[in-house]
Structure 1
Amino acid sequence: MMLRLKDQDALIPRPRGTLPTVAAAALAAITIGSVVFLSPERLFGWVAMVILILTLGPLLHGLCLLAEEMLNHSNTRYGGRRLLSHVLPACGLGGKTLLAAALAGLLLYLAGDPLPHKGLCWKLLILTSVLYALFKSLGVLGPSEVEVSDICEGRKMNVAHGLAWSFYLGYLRLVLPRLEDSIAAFRETHKTLWSRGSRKLIILIPINANISHKLEDEDDNIYFYDNLPNNEIDRAGVRGRVYKHSVYRVLDEHGKAHECVVEYATPLLTLYSMSQESSAGFGEPERRQQVLLFYRTLQEILEHSLECRNRYKLILLNDEPEDDPHLLSKVILRHLQQQEREEFCLTPPPQQEVAHPFIRTSSAPPNDCGHPEPMSREPTLMFSLEKPQPLKEPVEDTDHYRGKI
């Protein structure tokens, strides 16, 4: 079934916000305030030592990663690029971490040893940093699934992001600007009544990604009518690569047929096939998550695309089992009726011209929508060919009655 807008908002994952950062900042402020209240004289020393522990551990782990990258992957992964500009930042040895460690070391040197026993601070720093690098390499301190998901979504590294951009750049951006002309040519050859609301490409996105190649197999109220005229585009060395759309007729409850251009999102076939391959490491929960991310990403892309605006309709289909065998046709018809109403309300009816823009005879009815009457012709600019004349002084030409004194 088609999900309502409210249900979609509750189902589609939103981008993660800054709540973890705010919570961490609040926790740090409370802790530092407690340390200031209990022992303010050792605050700077404690802060410097903690910063050194948090920075020296990643630096040591970065050195371990650097040894692997330089010995085995410097040419294959980095192409012999410079050490400082590429390899070091890739291993986590960036300038920010080095600068933070240097400033913390300087602050600790100026503030003095915060621990009561001399030399205990540096022993603790070294031991903690070494154990951190060890546990990090063993995966004990690895990133959580939430962190990995946040990184992949933030850097557009998910499978869904790549499929959505490929679907847009390799297909939708090429065919949607030509869709209106294809429908117009189809109407001339087939002499069919094509409703205003069906002049868009309907893209079905089922959450389970299990789609059939023929819509009539899903619903017997839907049957194939014909294909739109082919669009031939030179693409990637292929001369006249063919792009086509299929026209289906959808029967309503009264048996009336409604023509529309509808298809499934083809990248879902890739997601479904990946979930069936054990070597892909892509199970059903991951597939469902990627389908929702695919829908969200594609929607964001198309909303900012001038070439595709008002030429498509994305329909997210729920994967819950339904007993209605004509559910898909009802979903499509519901969209067509909704689109028809929107187009009818947004498109003003044609108005006849009047004889004079300012005079309305009694037989002419007023405008029902409260808009002013249309002008008899398009407004034009009028230019005078006479030379500009200077301003004249005012002349008294009024006759006054002169009575007798």
Structure 2
Amino acid sequence: MQSLRDQDALIPQPRGTLPKMNAAALATSTIGIILFLSPERFFGWAAMAMLILTFGPLLHGLCLLAEEMLYHWNARYRSQGLLSHVLPACGLGGKTLFTAALAGLLLYLAGDPLPLDGQCWKLLFLTSVLYALFKSLGVLGPSEVEVSDICEGRKMNVAHGLAWSFYLGYLQLVMPHLENSIAAFRACHQASSSWGRSSRKLFILIPLNANISPKLEDEDNNIVFYDNLPNTEIDRAGVRGRVYKHSVYRVKDEHGKAHECVLEYATPLLTLYKMSRESSAGFGERERRQQVLLFYRTLQDILEHSLECRNQYKLILLNDEHEDDPHFLSKAILRHLQQQEKEEFCLTPPPHQEMMHLFTSSASSQSNAPPMGGDLHHPVPMSREPPLMFSLEKPQPLKVPVENTDHYHGLT
């Protein structure tokens, strides 16, 4: 059975700065070795290396610029500024131009420390032209890790859009009404006694395989549909009184006891599943699994910072490696229900425990001290606000300090 710690291990964390640190350490060590071996030629070599690394991207950017200016100037850029939009989009940004200019300045200051009678310049132009060619052919294209890092950093993944759509178009609208809907449901179902404190949340199921069944009973026969919460009607996108509803299920444990809670799948996962079934979408099972994990992480980050959804939800990530267990779904739900019960009830002790503790402490203190004015003071539990006490006596003036020490006692 998958534990909650194993569930956290499945979620990919954002990529860090380790590649940058490794590159910086490698460059520093290499520069140190060259400075030690040939300090007189270092600046010339460094300038030529910087020119080779920047002149190739500049030539490739010019190739891209020709395409953009001839065919996409109006459609993609709406005839906006050349310097502010088109050049940076083609890779001709300020960083590349600045590095090339800095390399030229270093080469000018270093004079001509490079031998071989201008053959380095031939190598510079040949390398730059071949770079532009290989870059256009995709030989020097970004790796999958780089593309994934760019998409995650700029929030360009399919999962990011689906998570924000699920939040802004659904959860943010219905979550503020969830508590009142559950209260109204419980008022109409007084016979139900298995509605725990942790069940007053919306449990959102997120399976890794994104395969969602229309009915939870088809996945696990220990889950039985009970009833729907009262409908929530909201005017949305020109539709008057659009109806939003939630379903209440009874989940049976191994002893046959039923636990009621509000359950539903994250519906945007259906989009991911259907995209993986369409060949034109270019979306395989491996990409689908990664997008589901990113959807979970993005939605979790969104909900943690949402005031409308705070303490109103519980995300349950379901691993798809449970084919041999027909009751995996009910066990996962019950495990999260028990965790919620332990967290909420252990952190805050019940009021009657505080009352007994205060009675005991007050009885022990009153047994050693005489009663004040014969009144019996009852303790007030800490879970309640202290009562206000008013005095009917008139206010008295402040007493003047009286000197009661006779320093001249016994003197004549």
The two structures have a TM-score, normalised by structure 2, of 0.88
Look up the match of 2:138.
139
2: CA distance, partners of 1:97 / 1:359: 74
1-structure distance, mates of 2:101, 2:394? 80
Deviation at 1:315, TM superposition (A): 0.9
Which residue of structure 1 lines up, in the alignment, with residue 319 of structure 2? 318
**1:263-278 equivalent positions in 2, closer than 5 A:** 263-278=264-279
Task: Show CA shifts across 1:234-291 (max 9, x none).
Answer: 2222221111100111122333222110011111100000000000000111111111
Cα pair 1:232 1:243 within 8 Å, conserved: yes
Q: Distance in 1 between matches of 2:344 and 2:228?
A: 25
* Superposition map of 1:239-258 within 5 A: 239-258=240-259
Q: 147-156 or 337-346: which moved more?
A: 337-346
Residue in structure 2 matched with residue 14 of structure 1 by the alignment: 13
Higher relative contact order (CA 8 A, sep 6+): 1
Partner SS, residue 362 of structure 2: coil
Alpha-carbon distance between aligned partners in 2 of 1:220 and 1:152, rounded to the nearest angstrom: 40
- The 3-state SS of whatever aligns with 2:264 is strand
1:239 is paired with a residue of what secondary structure? strand
List gaps (5 residues or longer) in structure 1. Answer: 366-371
| Native 8 Å contact 2:380 2:386 kept in 1 | no
The aligned runs of 1:2-401 (5 Å cut-off) are 3-191=2-190, 192-193=192-193, 194-351=195-352, 360-361=362-363, 374=381, 378=386, 396=403, 398=405
Shift of 1:302: 1.4
- Secondary structure of residue in 2 paired with 1:360: helix
| Aligned-partner SS, 1:314 | strand
Q: Deviations over 1:70-118 (max 9, x none)?
A: 1101111111111111011100111121111111111101202332133
Residues 114 and 121, structure 1, Cα contact 8 Å, conserved in 2: no
Please give the alpha-carbon distance, in whole angstroms, between the structure 2 residues aligned to 1:305 and 1:107.
Answer: 52
Percent of aligned positions with the same letter in both sequences?
77
Residues 385, 159 of structure 1: alpha-carbon distance in 2 compared, 3 angstrom cutoff:
farther
Could you say what secondary structure the match of 1:141 adopts?
A: coil
Residues 48, 103 of structure 2: 8 Å contact kept? yes
Distance 2:198 2:339 in 1: 8
User: 8 Å contact 2:205–2:316 — kept in the other structure?
Assistant: yes
Query: How far apart, CA to CA, are the structure 1 residues paired with 2:280 and 2:389?
Result: 72
Distance 1:359 1:263, change over 3 A: closer
Which amino acid in structure 1 is aligned with residue 17 of structure 2?
Answer: T
Q: How big is each residue's C-alpha offset from its partner over 1:312-358, in whole Å with a ceiling of 9 and x where there is no partner?
A: 1111111113322222122222222222222222333225889x999
Task: Compute the displacement of 1:305 (Å).
Answer: 1.7
How far is 1:382 from its partner?
Answer: 8.8
Instruction: Summarize the Cα distance change of 1:189–1:60 in structure 2 as closer, same or farther, 3 Å threshold.
Output: same
My pick for the range that moved more, 278-287 or 303-312, is: 303-312
What letter corresponds to residue 109 of structure 2 in structure 1?
L
| Residues 152 and 158, structure 1, Cα contact 8 Å, conserved in 2 | yes
Partner of 2:351: helix, strand, or coil? coil
Give the RMSD, CA atoms, in angstroms.
3.0
Take 1:56 and 1:400, find their aligned partners in 2: how far apart are those partners? 100
Q: Quick one: structure 1 residues 183 and 95, their matched pair in 2 at CA, closer, same or farther if it must change by over 3 Å?
A: same
- CA change 1:274–1:381 in 2 (3 A) is farther
Q: Deviations over 1:203-260 (max 9, x none)?
A: 1111111110100111112111111011111222222111110011112233322211
The alpha-carbon distance between structure 1 residues 183 and 46, as it changes in their structure 2 partners (threshold 3 A), is: same
- In structure 2, give the amino acid aligned to 1:70: M
2: CA distance, partners of 1:101 / 1:386: 86
Q: Which runs of 5+ in 2 are unaligned?
A: 368-378
Give the distance between the partners of 1:364 and 1:71, measured in 2 at CA. Answer: 93
SS in structure 2 at match of 1:325: coil
Alignment partner of 1:205: what SS?
strand
Residue 380 (structure 1) shift: 5.8
Q: Is the 8 A contact 1:207 1:316 kept in 2?
A: yes
Q: Is the 8 A contact 1:48 1:107 kept in 2?
A: yes
Q: CA–CA distance in 1 between the matches of 2:407 and 2:57?
A: 103
CA offsets 1:127-181 (integer angstroms, 9 cap, x no match): 2111111111111111111111111111111111111111111111111221111
Q: C-alpha distance in 2, partners of 1:336/1:213?
A: 23
State the 1:43 CA deviation: 0.4
> SS in structure 2 opposite 1:324?
coil
- Of stretches 20-29 and 270-279 in structure 1, the one that deviates more from structure 2 is 20-29
Partner letter of residue 12 of structure 1?
Answer: I
Q: Check conservation: 2:351, 2:381, Cα contact below 8 A.
A: no
2:219 partner letter: E
Between the two proteins, the alignment pairs up a number of residues equal to: 395
Question: Is contact 2:181–2:230 with CA below 8 Å preserved after alignment?
Answer: yes
- Asked if 1 retains the 8 angstrom alpha-carbon contact of 2:202 and 2:312, the reply is yes
Go from structure 1 to structure 2 and tell me whether the alpha carbon gap of 1:386 and 1:113 turns closer, same or farther (over 3 Å shift): farther
Q: Do the aligned partners of 2:322 and 2:328 also contact (CA within 8 Å) in 1?
A: no
Contact 1:113 1:121 in 2 (8 A): no
The one-letter amino acid paired with 1:249 is R
Q: Secondary structure at the match of 2:260?
A: strand
AA in 2 matched with 1:313: K
Task: For 1:46, give the aligned amino acid.
Answer: W
What is the alpha-carbon distance in structure 2 between the residues aligned to residue 186 and residue 15 of structure 1?
A: 41
CA distance in 2, matches of 1:220, 1:122: 75
For the structure 1 residues 377 and 256, does the alpha-carbon distance in structure 2 shift closer, same or farther, using more than 3 Å as the test?
Answer: closer
CA distance, structure 2, for counterparts of residue 309 and residue 217 of structure 1: 31
TM superposition shift of 1:23: 1.3
CA distance in 2, matches of 1:183, 1:253: 26
